[in-house]
Amino acid sequence: MNQKILIGIIASIVFVVGTVFVLHHHKGVFASQGSEETNVPVNQLLSEAAKYESQGDKLKAKEAYDQIISNYPDYDKIEEVQSKLGSLNIDLIFSPAQMPQTIDYEIVPGDSLGKLARKYNTTTQLIKRANGLKSDVIRTGEKLRLWTAPFNVLVNKSQNVLFLKSGEEVLKIYHVSTGKDNITPVGTFKIASKIEKPVWFRNGGPPIPSESPENELGSRWMGFDRDPHYGIHGTLHPESIGQQITAGCVRMKNEDVEELFDIIPVGTEVVIQN
């Protein structure tokens, strides 16, 4: 074979092999860089969350916790992360922080807290807490931060947990008690009534006032539309939380039901599942 032709063939082979190697190497580098960008180590995210919390930047801390829950669902301390995120979400709901779910509203003549709560499907308690109001008095021209995104509730009886949600986002997970012998009804309900310091009518007997140690409803009652005998309420026996022990209602610790009471308005959807 002509020597020049042989040299040309060898040079072509070397060029092709070299090009393939370089492309493969670069592809590996790019893949590695992309992996590093999208899979931030969980310990780094925890450190970032702690740093942002210490600086008072709750929104950025929330983002870090959200990434852990989304990217590391099998993390061995995921329940601790969920608990921290839940507390942070509640702080944000009750804070003046502007979020995608909120608007900045200027009060006009004729406004009242009740009217605004009905118009924007929220509660007067949430408006007052988020804006630091000590009374129901509001003045024309003042600005209020209003939460406008609807809430919903999911109760899982087998786990005895209640999820407070906004759309598909889980904001906080509460431990609850449900009915003995699985009698808590399954289905979709709506909150039809809300009562502070409810009176308990036990088996058709005389009313038991809220301050009585015999009142099993605790400090708050939120009744369902389809059956007014069932609802979400507090308890005098927080040690019973987590058990299937009630007469059919969803039972929460008093501090938890008071928190939920201030957040969800009448009409909120409640889904109960096995």
Cα–chain center distance at 42: 21
Query: Are 259 and 90 contacting, i.e. CB atoms less than 8 angstroms apart?
Result: yes
Query: Which residues on neighbouring strands pair with residue 143, listed in sequence order?
Result: 106
Catalytic residue numbers read 233, 249
CA distance linking residue 265 with residue 222, whole number of Å? 10
Q: Considering only CA atoms, which of 194, 184, 154 is closest in space to residue 171?
A: 154
Q: How far apart are CA 91 and CA 129, in angstroms?
A: 10
Q: What pLDDT, on a 0 to 100 scale, did the predictor assign at position 38?
A: 53
On the 0-12 / 13-18 / 19+ scale of CB atoms within 10 A, 203 is exposed
Over the stretch 113-170, which tens digit does the pLDDT of each residue have? 999 999 999 999 999 999 999 999 999 999 999 999 999 999 999 999 999 999 999 9
Distance of CA 168 to the CA centre of its chain: 9
pLDDT digits (tens, 9 = 90+) for 86-112: 999 999 999 999 999 999 999 999 999
Percent of residues, the chain, with pLDDT higher than 90: 77
Please check the confidence at residue 6 and state whether its pLDDT lies above 50: no
Tell me what pLDDT residue 214 has.
84
Confidence of residue 174 (pLDDT cuts 50, 70, 90): very high
DSSP state string for the chain: --HHHHHHHHHHHHHHHHHHHHHHHHHHHHHHHHHHHH---HHHHHHHHHHHHHTT-HHHHHHHHHHHHHH-TT-TTHHHHHHHHHHHHHHHHTS----TTEEEEE--TT--HHHHHHHTT--HHHHHHHHT-SSS---TT-EEEEE-SPEEEEEETTTTEEEEEETTEEEEEEE-BEEGGG-SPPEEEEEEEEEES--EEGGG-SEE-TTSTT-TTTTEEEEESS-TT-EEE--S-GGGTTSEEESSSEE--HHHHHHHHHHPPTT-EEEEE-
Phi, psi (degrees; rounded to nearest 5) at 2: -55, 135
Q: Provide the pLDDT confidence category of residue 207 given band limits of 50, 70 and 90.
A: confident
Mean pLDDT over 219-244 rounds to 93
**More confident position, 123 or 23:** 123
Residue type, 89: N
Q: Which residue has the higher pLDDT, 3 or 219?
A: 219
Residue 245 in this model has a pLDDT that exceeds 60: yes
At 80, the amino acid letter reads E
Q: What is the pLDDT at residue 101?
A: 95
For the chain, the average pLDDT equals 88
pLDDT at residue 83 above 50? yes
- Say yes or no to pLDDT of 11 above 70: no
Alpha-carbon gap, residue 48 to 43, rounded angstroms: 9
Per-residue pLDDT of 27-76, as tens digits, reads: 443 333 333 445 689 999 999 999 999 999 999 999 999 999 999 999 99
In the predicted structure, residue 9 carries a pLDDT above the cut 70: no
